[in-house]
Amino acid sequence: MRDVIGAKDYDLVVVPQIEPTVICMIACIGIRRNFAMHLHGNPRLEPSHLKAKILFFLMRIYFIKRLTYVFGTSPRQLESFKAMFRSNVRQYWLPNPVRRFDALQKPEGEEGCVTFVNVGRFSFQKGQDILLTAFAEAYKLRPNIRLKVVGYGDGEAELRNQIGDLGLAAVVSVEHHPDNPSPALAASDVYVSTSRWEGWSLAICEALRFGLPVISTDCEFGPSDILVDRRLGLLVPVSGGEELVRAMLYYCDHLEEERAHAEFRQNFIDIYDTERVVDVHADALRIAAMGPAPLIA
């Protein structure tokens, strides 16, 4: 890192997340550069092991004052970071760009069935275990529902075991679309996010791009920054439980009237279109690069 960053007179070094930023800034002690940190997740929940705790401590007591800018994926995330680190560093909200997808015709599914879909890394953070538990309860009341769980990750074996233990193998499919979730989104009726925490949620935005209504857990920030209108979707507690089940049942019973809002969802998410957001990112980089370069010493 030191060799690369010191090789040229860079105006700005942008590093994602707190831990890599501290490591990078330690490596560059004595080199005059502007550093911007780009937050993605929830800093309050991320220092879960000793190494992370040490790096967070170093950020709080020393490196925070030497940052030029803090970029974040949601306004409330930046406010949470500011309070957690008692930071006076300038902040800039950089909304995630939402890509466009080729138009896909909805494939024919099982007649009379309502298909839910979840897209994300198979991990504790993304809460697929919460989703499967609620889906199992909803399935007892609405046997016409189906679920697609799309993603990858170390938690796949545990996910498949839970599907088997709940007796859902015939109605829940695990799918892998590593570069493009559009086949699964186009084949579904309702998107469900059960994350325990998020920085934003690009997956929710991409589901809205397809006109799907969204059910999401109301984690500290991210989904609630996006689902600002009832026509976009419903927020439920992070624990899921009965309220998540009720939300799934609601969309089962009101799917046709909810489909009337599909165009509203698609138009709404255009504010995060790549072509619009790229200018926001470019402006942030230009502003941060003009900041006074601190000497890390």
What confidence tens digit (pLDDT) does each residue in 91-131 have?
Answer: 999 999 999 888 766 776 677 899 999 999 999 999 999 99
CATH no. for residue 283?
3.40.50.2000
- Whether 245 and 133 map to the same domain: the answer is yes
- Whether 205 and 130 map to the same domain: the answer is yes
CA–CA gap between residue 248 and residue 134 (Å, rounded): 9
- Whether 35 and 19 map to the same domain: the answer is yes
- Whether 195 and 284 map to the same domain: the answer is no
Residue 104 lies in a domain: no
User: Residue 61 is encoded by which pair of tokens?
Assistant: 């007591």
Residue 161 lies in a domain: yes
- Whether 118 and 235 map to the same domain: the answer is yes
Residue 154 lies in a domain: yes
Residue 189 lies in a domain: yes
pTM score: 0.85
Q: Are 186 and 192 in contact (CB under 8 A)?
A: no
- Whether 59 and 122 map to the same domain: the answer is no
Residues 6 or more apart in contact with residue 165 via CB below 8 angstroms: none
CA–CA gap between residue 178 and residue 160 (Å, rounded): 18
Residue 145 lies in a domain: yes
- Whether 239 and 179 map to the same domain: the answer is yes
- Whether 44 and 181 map to the same domain: the answer is no
Find the mean pLDDT for residues 177-187: 91
More confident residue, 196 or 291: 196
Residue 108 lies in a domain: no
CA–CA gap between residue 240 and residue 208 (Å, rounded): 21
Number of Cβ within 10 Å of residue 283's Cβ equals 12
State what percent of residues in the chain have pLDDT above 90.
85
- Whether 222 and 284 map to the same domain: the answer is no
- Based on the structure, what is the number of domains in the chain? 2
Residue 66 lies in a domain: yes
pLDDT in tens, 53-79: 999 999 999 999 999 999 999 999 999
Short-list 126, 133, 170, 132, CA closest to 151:
126
What's the confidence (pLDDT) of residue 41? 85
- Whether 172 and 85 map to the same domain: the answer is no
Structure confidence at residue 295 as a pLDDT band (50, 70, 90): very low
Domain housing 93: 2-97+276-289
Residue 57 lies in a domain: yes
Count how many residues are written for the chain. Answer: 297
